[in-house]
Amino acid sequence: MTGTPPTPARARVLYLAVALLLLAGLVAFGLMALFDLSLGVAVGWTVVLGVAILLLLAVLVG
């Protein structure tokens, strides 16, 4: 990859997306522990929440 480094605003959005994805994972795995769900359910919810967050960021950022 020889592309240019991301601009500060783009990097900030990228870091925000990663942080929110990690938060979605924490929520999903917390629910897994709380309700005794399987690992597949927690991973599925992490993916669903992550995609929803990334789509929301894409709409907000444009």
User: Would you give the DSSP letter of residue 2?
Assistant: -
- pLDDT for residue 31: 81
- pLDDT for residue 56: 81
Compute the distance between CA of residue 45 and CA of residue 12 in angstroms, rounded to an integer: 25
Spell out the per-residue pLDDT of the chain, length 62, in tens: 566 776 787 778 888 888 888 888 888 888 888 888 788 888 888 888 888 888 887 787 76
- pLDDT for residue 61: 76
Q: How many domains does the chain have?
A: 1
Query: Model-level pTM greater than 0.85?
Result: no
For residue 29, give its domain range.
24-62
Containing 15, the helix (H) or strand (E) segment is helix 8-35
